Homo-oligomer: A and B are copies of this chain.
């Protein structure tokens, strides 16, 4: 099978080919025609992208996905083939001038304010404010939702897992194979890192997004060896580079006898194929040898084989990097393995063996993670795939993108389902803080209002409350930052690692009760008196 023509050039250096203008719902295109026919394509409109409830029964979310949105806006342009496809699904008598308008579209009239990535986000507070020509900003709805919702969801999920694990455990994301296709996996890896994971198994996330990548070997590597294989070159030079090369496989057999005697095992018990596999891996990675212990029997095969190879490597000055357990009671096995490491370290006088990292994986969820991270656990590295990437407790964040103003006039969806009513008007958002730096509440107000002043009392309407409350912030932070103005990027986006650090900083300022993963105290989002009055007027059917 020959490679496709053109495979050599990088067809998609930024990994954004999947996000293209037609990655949208058809109704965006039909509405575009409706706006255009109504002479409203250029009306200045503003949309807000927000969520209505925090995910996973928690009281916070992390904002993420902005960098992908900016990439998308930058490349937004309908090609001839795109316009031709739209023509094939729109009425045949649609004016050519409409398609010419589409063909010429770009985001040069679009302005985006947004929470910086890694910010704490709360219900109703815009993650993105997008303004520009009505037709264009309408077309952006679906792709922006697609780029922000899952990114924020998985970042929040990662942050929860990090809260459970504590700051010391190393957390590895390994969910690529459980994601919704290729890009789902890339998004998951990127934003799990932002949310607090240390690394990912996903090589593409390393290449395209700079996420640290990690990984050693799978069961197939181990079971691919029957034990009769002869390595082409079994000789290994000492780590320091001086001294003669040594037959590693031969030394392993010598060490195996000592290890089996120490563990009270017969020397025939450890699986020969597994040992040959470990030797092969150690020859390739003498400085990064990890043992995967459970292809046959952890206690009677994987562990003794690992020790024999690790000790033979140790003679040459190489230190193994650890072991991985992938089935059974991981906490209990880690304890056993640590016990054996300790006795073997003493027996064979190799102190580093005692503290070798123990990595675990196997469908770990929040509950199991809490167990693995408990006081006294001997687990050092935890790999999480499915329950991180698929967010099984709530697999969608349910972000929405709602029109709040057209031509400077507020707009509101007044459906009888009050939960789905929107907050009208172009807004500003502030975070009010106490004198100790702790968060008091988030305030939404109309864009034209004066910002709240530190030290001054103001009356606000907590969402859903029947009466206002007074609050006197010691500090006030403006939440929405201008990133894109009339299509121009205003300042460079922070790197992924910077956003990751910002996420941890943001979380550290949130009070513990808001961070409880079950039945947390809800964080307050409030409206200014003017905004509340506008909502009331519009609900009553009056003029804005």
Q: In the complex, are the beta carbons of B30 and A285 less than 8 A apart?
A: yes
Complex Cα gap A252–B368 (Å): 62
For A180, list chain B residues within 8 Å (CB). 150, 154, 179-181, 183-185, 187-188, 389
Complex Cα gap A150–B179 (Å): 7
Q: In the complex, are the beta carbons of A221 and B489 less than 8 A apart?
A: no
From B68, B176, B395, A23 is in contact (CB under 8 Å) with: B176
Q: Which residue of B lies closest to A296 (CB)?
A: B414
Fill in one digit per residue for A198-209: 1 if any B CB lies within 8 Å of its CB, else 0: 000111101100
Complex Cα gap A88–B188 (Å): 22
For A34, list chain B residues within 8 Å (CB). 217, 221, 280-281, 284-285
- Judged by a CB distance under 8 angstroms, whether A416 is at the interface is yes
Q: In the complex, are the beta carbons of B25 and A416 less than 8 A apart?
A: no
- Judged by a CB distance under 8 angstroms, whether A215 is at the interface is yes
- Judged by a CB distance under 8 angstroms, whether A178 is at the interface is yes
- Judged by a CB distance under 8 angstroms, whether A443 is at the interface is no
Query: Which chain A residues numbered 261 to 314 have a C-beta less than 8 Å away from chain B?
Result: 280-281, 283-285, 287-288, 294-298
- Assuming A147-B182, A177-B146, is B416 touching A297 (CB within 8 A)? yes
Q: In the complex, are the beta carbons of A203 and B25 less than 8 A apart?
A: yes
Fill in one digit per residue for A390-424: 1 if any B CB lies within 8 Å of its CB, else 0: 11101110110111001001011111110010000
- Judged by a CB distance under 8 angstroms, whether A134 is at the interface is yes
For A232, list chain B residues within 8 Å (CB). 37-39
Q: In the complex, are the beta carbons of B203 and A110 less than 8 A apart?
A: no
- Output the least CB separation between A297 and chain B (Å): 6
- Assuming A146-B181, A178-B396, is B38 touching A406 (CB within 8 A)? no
Complex Cα gap A37–B7 (Å): 28
- Judged by a CB distance under 8 angstroms, whether A518 is at the interface is no
Complex Cα gap A225–B412 (Å): 11
- Judged by a CB distance under 8 angstroms, whether A186 is at the interface is yes
- Judged by a CB distance under 8 angstroms, whether A1 is at the interface is yes
Q: In the complex, are the beta carbons of B203 and A285 less than 8 A apart?
A: no
Q: In the complex, are the beta carbons of B417 and A220 less than 8 A apart?
A: no
Q: Which residue of B lies closest to A420 (CB)?
A: B327
Complex Cα gap A188–B395 (Å): 14
Interface residues of A toward B: which range? 35 or more
For A447, list chain B residues within 8 Å (CB). none
Q: In the complex, are the beta carbons of A79 and B1 less than 8 A apart?
A: no
Complex Cα gap A412–B274 (Å): 12
Fill in one digit per residue for A214-240: 1 if any B CB lies within 8 Å of its CB, else 0: 111111110111100101110000000
Q: In the complex, are the beta carbons of A174 and B220 less than 8 A apart?
A: no
Q: Which of A1, A184, A201 has the most CB of B within 10 A?
A: A1
Q: Which residue of B lies closest to A487 (CB)?
A: B1
Copies per complex of this chain: 2
Q: In the complex, are the beta carbons of B215 and A30 less than 8 A apart?
A: yes
From A9-17, A119-127, A500-508, give the one contacting chain B. A9-17
- Judged by a CB distance under 8 angstroms, whether A86 is at the interface is yes
Complex Cα gap A294–B185 (Å): 36
Complex Cα gap A8–B396 (Å): 33
- Judged by a CB distance under 8 angstroms, whether A19 is at the interface is yes
For A394, list chain B residues within 8 Å (CB). 392
Q: Which of A7, A23, A75, A206 has the most CB of B within 10 A?
A: A23
For A38, list chain B residues within 8 Å (CB). 225, 229, 231-232, 280, 283-284
Fill in one digit per residue for A34-70: 1 if any B CB lies within 8 Å of its CB, else 0: 1111111001010100000000000000000000100
From A135-143, A448-456, A474-482, give the one contacting chain B. A135-143
Q: Which residue of B lies closest to A26 (CB)?
A: B215
Q: In the complex, are the beta carbons of A202 and B391 less than 8 A apart?
A: no
For A107, list chain B residues within 8 Å (CB). 1
For A257, list chain B residues within 8 Å (CB). none
Q: Which of A12, A40, A223 has the most CB of B within 10 A?
A: A223
* Top 8 A-B residue pairs of the complex, sorted by shortest distance between their CB atoms: A183-B183, A180-B184, A1-B487, A26-B215, A27-B215, A390-B395, A184-B184, A17-B17
Give 20 A-B contacts (CB < 8 Å), ordered by A residue.
A1-B106, A2-B487, A8-B80, A17-B17, A22-B204, A25-B215, A26-B206, A27-B217, A30-B288, A37-B232, A40-B280, A45-B224, A138-B220, A143-B182, A146-B182, A180-B183, A219-B402, A220-B403, A328-B417, A391-B395
Instruction: Kindly list 12 other residue pairs between chains A and B, CB separation below 8 angstroms, not including A26-B202, A327-B416.
Output: A23-B202, A24-B202, A33-B285, A36-B284, A85-B207, A89-B213, A150-B184, A183-B183, A327-B420, A328-B417, A386-B396, A392-B392
